[in-house]
Structure 1
Amino acid sequence: MANQPAQKFKIGLITATIWDNDGFYSVDFSRAYKGETGDWRNSNSFHHSDLLNLAKCAERAEIWIGRQTNAR
């Protein structure tokens, strides 16, 4: 079974995925888009119009990680 993320935040097409590696957290950001065949894909490249949602996801991830760290 693959590792599951500790938490995910999604705003619009932007997703922040938080991974817990024994108390050390890392965050991946991705943007969903529809491919040429109509299937959903993800990219790590962002448009100018994505940046506000990217920043909001980053802020939510930072708050969540801070709460987890303070709870230990």
Structure 2
Amino acid sequence: MSKPPVKEFRMGLIKATIWENQTKHGVKYTTTLTRLFKNGESWVESSRFGRDDLPLISKVSDQAHTWIFSKQQGE
């Protein structure tokens, strides 16, 4: 069973998900950027983005960076 993400930022259908990983050098964070879309009755995530998604990618990436940076400053 995988651990849940520690934080998510979402704007519309664009999402930045932050994962926390314990290493021998301390806590490290990784980020996944995805676009949600509906395929029939199911919601699916994709890592492919269209032109109009890019401004939202920029915004959620900045939010994720700020959150990670503030967490690492507190360590």
Normalised by the length of structure 2, the TM-score is: 0.89
Tell me the SS of whatever aligns to 1:67.
helix
Unpaired segments ≥5 residues, structure 1: none
Distance 1:4 1:38 in 2: 24
CA RMSD of aligned residues (A): 0.9
Aligned residues, how many? 71
Pick the structure with more strand per residue.
2
The runs of 5 or more residues in structure 2 that have no matched partner are: none
The alignment partner of 1:8 has SS state of strand
Identity of aligned residues (%): 32
- Deviation, 1:38, is 3.1
Give yes or no for the alignment of 1:34 onto 2:38: yes
Q: What residue in structure 2 maps to residue 11 of structure 1?
A: 11
